[in-house]
Chains A and B, each alone.
Chain A
Amino acid sequence: AQSVAQPEDQVNVAEGNPLTVKCTYSVSGNPYLFWYVQYPNRGLQFLLKYITGDNLVKGSYGFEAEFNKSQTSFHLKKPSALVSDSALYFCAVTDSGAGSYQLTFGKGTKLSVIP
Chain B
Amino acid sequence: DSGVTQTPKHLITATGQRVTLRCSPRSGDLSVYWYQQSLDQGLQFLIQYYNGEERAKGNILERFSAQQFPDLHSELNLSSLELGDSALYFCASSVEGGGSRGYTFGSGTRLTVV
**Interface residue ranges of B1-56 to A (CB < 8 Å):** 2, 31, 33, 35, 42-43, 45, 48, 55-56
Asked if residues A105 and B43 are in contact (CB atoms below 8 Å), the reply is yes
A51 touches B100 (CB 8 A): yes
Q: How large is the interface on A (under 10, 10 to 19, 20 to 34, 35 or more residues)?
A: 20 to 34
In contact, B42 and A101 (Cβ under 8 angstroms): no
A102 and B48 within 8 A (CB): yes
Q: Is A115 an interface residue (CB 8 A)?
A: no
**Are the CB atoms of A94 and B90 closer together than 8 Å?**
no
Min distance, Cβ B96 to any Cβ of chain A, angstroms: 10
A100, B90: Cα distance in complex, Å? 18
* Chain A, range 24-75, C-beta contacts under 8 Å to B: 32, 34, 36, 42-46, 49, 51-52
In the bound complex, do residue A101 and residue B99 qualify as a contact, i.e. CB atoms below 8 Å apart?
yes
Q: Whole-angstrom distance between the alpha carbons of A103 and B101 in the complex?
A: 13
| CB-based nearest A residue for B108 | A43
Q: Is the beta-carbon distance between B103 and A103 smaller than 8 angstroms?
A: yes
The answer to whether B56 and A102 touch across the interface, beta carbons within 8 angstroms, is yes
A-B contacts, 7 of them at CB < 8 A, read: A36-B105, A43-B108, A49-B102, A100-B48, A100-B55, A101-B48, A102-B33
